[in-house]
Amino acid sequence: MRETWRWFGEFDPITLPQVRQTGAQGIVSALHAIPYGEVWPRTAIAARKAEIEAAGLTWDVVESLPVHEDIKRGIGDLDLLFAAYCESLKNLAAEGITTVCYNFMPILDWTRTDLAAPVAGGGTCLSFSATQMAAFEVHMLGRAAARADYDAKTLADAQAWFEASTAQDQTTLLETIMAGLPGAVDTYDLDGLRAVLETYSGLTHNDLRTNLKRFLQEVIPTATSLGVNLCIHPDDPPRDILGLPRIVSTQDDIAWILNAVDAPANGLTLCTGSLGAHADNDIPAIAKAFGDRVHFVHLRNVTKSADGSFAESAHLNGDVDMVAVIDELLEVESRLGRSLPFRADHGHALLDDLGRDVQPGYTLIGRLRGLAELRGIIAALS
């Protein structure tokens, strides 16, 4: 397995020389400043690649080449958007970059309710509280149908949280839920979020599946001709959020997507943390079932609760059997004769991380610890 590290380019306070010291060989990056739906110019791709290679690293994976919201909604000038996406794939392939991660989550990328939850022994982690999410949806956002998405105890706890919260608590919760990746990603206040949610009004799971299938039918032939592998990222968390449908949350979802356009270029980013937050997902079984179509791997762990809450644990200490997952992936590598790029996904904020202004979850020391632990598992199993 090939060690990679996610790096946010000009938005990242962690430098490439620092990444080099972690022992990772490859970089996972994107052109975050380019607005969604626009073509990534080959000159910009080449410049980012040259910057990475000058530090003694390689640009192994694009994460992410974003899918425009109109494609997810199935509206607007879709032919123009599909053409732009395919042109970006052509420009990436021309520079030798052939693994492209993307997601199909409406509006929000990953969602958390706390970016600095205390960890036993010191440090902080990202976490998701069903109680706080319910308080946000029901009492702050005022989404009419939200009560049907939570059980009675969660709703009662949410009301208690809201009644005890200060204005600053509520502002912090909104900012946390809106926390996204840098560059072209939008953030919203409550009115803005209500307005953008309205643009998805009436969109069902089947509608979103239909729109994803059309996207795949449009771009996978181009990807195949270029030797590019697309790999969809699972929903994070793997559940409907804000009334928005999520369609990449379970093993059945993944099977549907891979069968929708049955081609090797239509693949999966196996994210053990995202999938691991769903009570019904068996991650080693998913790795075994779809190993031939896994093109990229995110290794992180979570400790989950019955109400759907979860916290990001240390890489070896959560509910996901990381040893079993890696064992399955090594078997895939041996059978197919290829090396899978993986990265230690997210990490606790530890030691000097606590004073460093990094993207949430993308710490230096916490990810270094995770990478070292994962490296040990791989070495032992190998």
Can you say how many angstroms the Cα of residue 322 is from the centroid of all Cα atoms in its chain?
Answer: 18
Contacts of 217 (CB under 8 A, 6+ apart): 261
Q: Residue 336, Cβ neighbours under 10 Å: how many?
A: 12
Q: Which CATH superfamily is domain 2-111+197-381 in?
A: Divalent-metal-dependent TIM barrel enzymes (3.20.20.150)
345 is catalytic: yes
> Which tens digit of pLDDT belongs to each residue from 89-125?
999 999 999 999 999 999 988 999 999 999 998 999 9
Closest-CA residue to 61 (of 32, 84, 30, 82): 30
> Which tens digit of pLDDT belongs to each residue from 189-223?
999 999 999 999 999 999 999 999 999 999 999 99
> Which tens digit of pLDDT belongs to each residue from 60-91?
999 999 999 999 999 999 999 999 999 999 99
Residue 9 pLDDT exceeds 70: yes
pLDDT exceeding 70 applies to what percent of the chain? 98
Say which of 233, 278, 295, 348 is annotated catalytic.
233
Say which of 12, 345, 348, 353 is annotated catalytic.
345
Q: Which amino acid is at 1?
A: M
Say which of 86, 101, 125, 271 is annotated catalytic.
271
The Cα–Cα gap between 297 and 314 comes to 17
Q: What is the mean pLDDT of the chain?
A: 96
The Cα–Cα gap between 115 and 220 comes to 36
271 is catalytic: yes
Contacts of 77 (CB under 8 A, 6+ apart): 70
Q: Residue 343, Cβ neighbours under 10 Å: how many?
A: 27
The Cα–Cα gap between 275 and 281 comes to 6
The Cα–Cα gap between 190 and 254 comes to 32
Say which of 68, 139, 278, 298 is annotated catalytic.
298
Contacts of 250 (CB under 8 A, 6+ apart): 238, 278, 280, 281
Residue 230 pLDDT exceeds 80: yes
Give the per-residue pLDDT at 185. Answer: 56
Region 287-313 average pLDDT: 97
Query: CB of 40 within 8 A of CB of 9?
Result: no
Q: In what order do the strands lie in the sheet with 301-304?
A: 114-118, 124-128, 310-313, 301-304
Tokens of 323: 């040893």
Domain coordinates in residue numbering, the chain: 2-111+197-381
Give the per-residue pLDDT at 181. Answer: 47
Give the per-residue pLDDT at 229. Answer: 98
Ramachandran category for residue 77: left, alpha or beta (phi over 0 → left; psi -120 to 50 → alpha): beta
Length of the chain equals 382
186 is catalytic: no
Tokens of 286: 């998913």
Say which of 102, 150, 200, 362 is annotated catalytic.
362
Give the per-residue pLDDT at 186. Answer: 63
> Which tens digit of pLDDT belongs to each residue from 257-297?
999 999 999 999 999 999 999 999 999 999 999 999 999 99
Give the per-residue pLDDT at 179. Answer: 86
The Cα–Cα gap between 234 and 253 comes to 9
Region 233-240 average pLDDT: 96
Say which of 68, 139, 295, 346 is annotated catalytic.
346
Region 350-364 average pLDDT: 93
Give the per-residue pLDDT at 102. Answer: 97
> Which tens digit of pLDDT belongs to each residue from 136-193?
999 999 998 999 999 999 999 999 999 999 999 999 999 999 986 444 456 789 999 9
Closest-CA residue to 244 (of 196, 285, 282): 196
> Which tens digit of pLDDT belongs to each residue from 48-65?
999 999 999 999 999 999
